[in-house]
Amino acid sequence: MPFLQVTIYFIFRERNERKHNTRNKSVDQLAKMIDKTVKTRITSTKYTLNPRLQGLMIRWFEVHVIAV
């Protein structure tokens, strides 16, 4: 699941950034980075050619709009 992997990556990256540096990102900035990365990963795959991935972008936007 790309969303879970991307979320964990950015949370740990932010944790390390806060621990070792003074730069902090807001929750909104992290959410935007995660959203952009997931959309990029979905569009970079050939999701329209793979039957298992068809509709992935549609589902992402459905869930994303409801969650916001």
pLDDT single digits (tens) 13-65: 999 988 898 778 898 898 888 888 888 887 777 766 777 677 777 777 777 66
pLDDT at 39: 81
Token code pair at residue 7: 């979320």
Domain boundary assignment for the chain: 2-67
Computed on alpha carbons and rounded to an integer, the radius of gyration of the chain in Å comes to: 14
pLDDT, greater one: 40 or 11: 11
User: Is the Cβ–Cβ distance between 41 and 9 less than 8 Å?
Assistant: no
Nearest CA to 57 among 40, 29, 32, 33?
Answer: 40
pLDDT at 48: 66
Task: Kindly state the DSSP code that residue 53 receives in the 8-state scheme.
Answer: T
pLDDT at 68: 47
